[in-house]
Amino acid sequence: MAKHRQERVSREILRILSTALLEDAKDPRLLDVSITDVSVSGDLSVASVRWLCPVELDRDEIAKGLVAATPYLRSVIGDEMDLRRVPALRFYYDDAYEKGQQMSELLARLRANGEMGSEEA
């Protein structure tokens, strides 16, 4: 049951943060940020938020913008959710897409060089 609540809270926080950044972001650093995942700790005290932005943007500046916006984002979560305490927000850049792209490029190079032979049965 507790795991189900964690997942529900995580999904709701993801929805709230995504909407807040899309509709209410005043900081220009946050205009192109997408929230990709939220996972909440078992006691609901910390929400780990994964985010993504276009490659050409300065991730360090965006990270600073997210930290600066944290009090506002927590207040939005508090207004929209019925929680005893609003979780602390911890932001992490989501590099899964970039890693996937690198892996695809590596596989394409291996195929082009003939280094990936087909297995014969």
Contact indicator for 100, 52 with CB cutoff of 8 Å: no
Q: Pick the more confident residue, 71 or 116.
A: 71
Q: What is the CATH number of the domain that holds 12?
A: 3.30.300.20
pTM of the model: 0.79
- Chain-wide mean pLDDT for the chain? 89
Q: Would 118 be classed as within a structural domain?
A: no
In a domain, 119, yes or no: no
Using the predicted structure, report yes or no on whether residue 43 has a pLDDT greater than 50.
Answer: yes
Neighbours of 79 (CB within 10 A): 9
Local structure of residue 86 (DSSP, 8 states) = P
Higher pLDDT, 43 or 104: 43
> Is 17 a member of any domain?
yes
DSSP 30: G
* pLDDT (0 to 100) of residue 107: 86
Dist CA 70 CA 79 (whole Å): 14
Has residue 15 been placed in a domain? yes
Tell me whether residue 70 is in a domain: yes
The total domain count for the chain is 1
Tokens 């195929």, residue?
A: 111
CA 10 centroid distance within chain: 11
Q: What is the pLDDT of residues 69-83, one digit of tens each?
A: 999 999 999 999 989
Let me know if residue 120 belongs to a domain.
Answer: no
46 part of a folded domain: yes
Torsion of CA 11, 17, 89, 66, to 10 degrees: 150
Answer whether residue 27 shows pLDDT above 70.
Answer: yes
Among candidates 82, 21, 84, 85, which has minimal Cα distance to 49?
21
Element of type H or E holding 110:
helix 96-112
CB distance 91 to 69 below 8 Å: no
DSSP bridge partners of 38: 49
pLDDT higher than 80, residue 1: no
Confidence check: pLDDT of 19 > 60: yes
Answer yes or no: is 45 within a domain: yes
Residue-number span of the structural domain to which 43 is assigned: 2-112
